[in-house]
């Protein structure tokens, strides 16, 4: 399972795709816990770390119907061309499921869900709205852009940098002092052997585009305090980041090509290291224009 997850993360698979596989490889996920608990009444309190809060994807949906199939799971491996890199027991299990030799996950309409209640008690939207209120209380002209931020981290970073430049040039969509909040979760397709996480890569991708802007900064972080395999939650970029990096002999383009954001921001002292928060509701990104 660890090998499978590493391969899926490296090829840029979405959490929905990763969890489709998990639901067909784990007895608890994909409605499995509800199946085990029947006929007891079951209440599930959900902290959502998935964009859009789909109950069947959050934590791989242990107490909700699963709309995906063994065939869907196997198709994901084919889509990314990684079937040959996946441990053979996993591939064999999926093939047995497709052939009907292993029971499918429970689907909508199954009687076992009649006494199951699922309630979302924390989500990225709630976190983003809380951040919005805090920014307004501090005197910012604040707006919530989206809680559906997805895609390649480096591409999303450039879009957010363009937003920062628009605010600096025209005062749109909000005038200074501005704070734009965006929530969601990006992905990284590994191209190099560097160290970092999706938030650090997003931040690194903005360094050149924000260069020279006065009193503008981008802050991006994972709400659980851990971004990828690092001790940082994310990073901060300003209009001065590029010049400071060059002064230290750092090349942001070269480090982005290696997926090597962590050493870049560590050298600048611009990593965010709050430590574990014990709560994960995806990522938050802030564009400030003071």
pLDDT 10s digits, 30-63 = 999 999 999 999 999 999 999 999 999 999 999 9
Please state the rounded mean pLDDT for residues 226-241: 96
Tokens found for residue 25? 């490889």
With bands split at pLDDT 50, 70 and 90, how would you rate the model's confidence at 26?
very high
Percent of the chain residues past pLDDT 70, beyond the cut: 100
Cα 252 versus chain centre, distance:
22
* C-alpha–C-alpha distance, residues 198 and 221, integer Å: 9
Q: Output the pLDDT for position 14.
A: 87
Work out the pLDDT band at 224, boundaries 50, 70, 90. Answer: very high
Residues 6+ apart with CB under 8 A from 111: none
Average pLDDT taken over every residue of the chain:
96
Q: Is the pLDDT of residue 71 over 90?
A: yes
Is a pLDDT exceeding 90 seen at residue 15?
no
Inter-residue contact 273 to 241 (CB < 8 Å): no
CB-based contacts of 244, cutoff 8 Å, min separation 6? 268
Q: Taking 90 as the threshold, does the pLDDT of residue 134 lie above it?
A: yes
- Asked if residue 161 lies in contact with residue 210, where contact means CB atoms within 8 angstroms, the answer is yes
CB 244 within 8 A of CB 238: no
Q: What is the mean pLDDT of residues 105-114?
A: 96
| 215 φ/ψ angles, rounded to the nearest 5 degrees | 55, 40
Q: Are 213 and 268 in contact (CB under 8 A)?
A: no
Taking CA atoms, 150 is separated from 33, 50, 70, 126, 183, in Å, by 29, 11, 25, 18, 9
Residue ranges of alpha helices (H) inside the chain are 2-10, 15-23, 32-37, 70-79, 88-98, 124-137, 153-170, 198-205, 207-210, 241-247, 252-257, 261-268
By the 8 A CB rule, do 33 and 62 touch? Answer: yes
- How far CA 46 is from CA of 10, 53, 63, 176, in Å, comes to 27, 10, 10, 37
pLDDT, average across residues 278-286: 96
Sorted by where each starts, the structural domains of the chain and their CATH numbers stand as 2-122 (3.40.50.10180), 124-289 (3.40.1480.10)
Q: Torsion-angle region of residue 249: left (phi > 0), alpha (psi -120 to 50) or beta?
A: left
């Amino acid at each position: 399972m660890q090998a499978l997850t590493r391969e899926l993360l490296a090829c840029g698979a979405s959490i929905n795709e990763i969890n489709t596989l998990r639901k067909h490889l784990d007895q608890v996920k994909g409605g499995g816990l509800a199946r085990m608990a029947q006929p007891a009444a079951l209440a599930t309190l959900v902290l959502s770390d998935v964009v859009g809060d789909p109950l069947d994807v959050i934590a791989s949906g242990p107490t909700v119907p699963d709309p995906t199939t063994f065939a869907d799971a196997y198709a994901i491996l084919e889509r990314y061309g990684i079937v040959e890199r996946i441990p053979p027991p996993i591939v064999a299990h999926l093939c047995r499921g497709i052939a009907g030799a292993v029971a499918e996950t429970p689907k909508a309409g199954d009687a076992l869900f009649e006494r199951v209640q699922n309630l979302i008690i924390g989500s990225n939207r709630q976190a983003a709205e809380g951040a919005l209120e805090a920014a307004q209380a501090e005197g910012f002209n604040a707006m919530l852009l989206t809680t559906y931020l997805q895609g390649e981290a480096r591409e999303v970073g450039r879009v957010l940098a363009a937003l920062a430049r628009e605010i600096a040039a025209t005062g749109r969509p909000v005038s200074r002092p501005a704070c734009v909040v965006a929530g969601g979760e990006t992905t990284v397709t590994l191209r190099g052997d560097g160290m970092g996480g999706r938030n650090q890569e997003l931040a690194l991708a903005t360094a050149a585009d924000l260069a020279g802007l006065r009193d503008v900064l981008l802050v991006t972080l994972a709400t659980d305090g851990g971004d990828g395999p690092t001790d940082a939650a994310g990073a901060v970029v300003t209009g001065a980041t590029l010049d400071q990096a060059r002064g230290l002999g750092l090349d942001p383009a070269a480090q982005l090509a290696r997926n090597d954001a962590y050493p870049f921001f560590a050298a600048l002292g611009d990593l965010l290291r709050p430590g574990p928060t014990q709560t994960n509701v995806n990522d938050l990104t802030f564009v400030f224009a003071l």
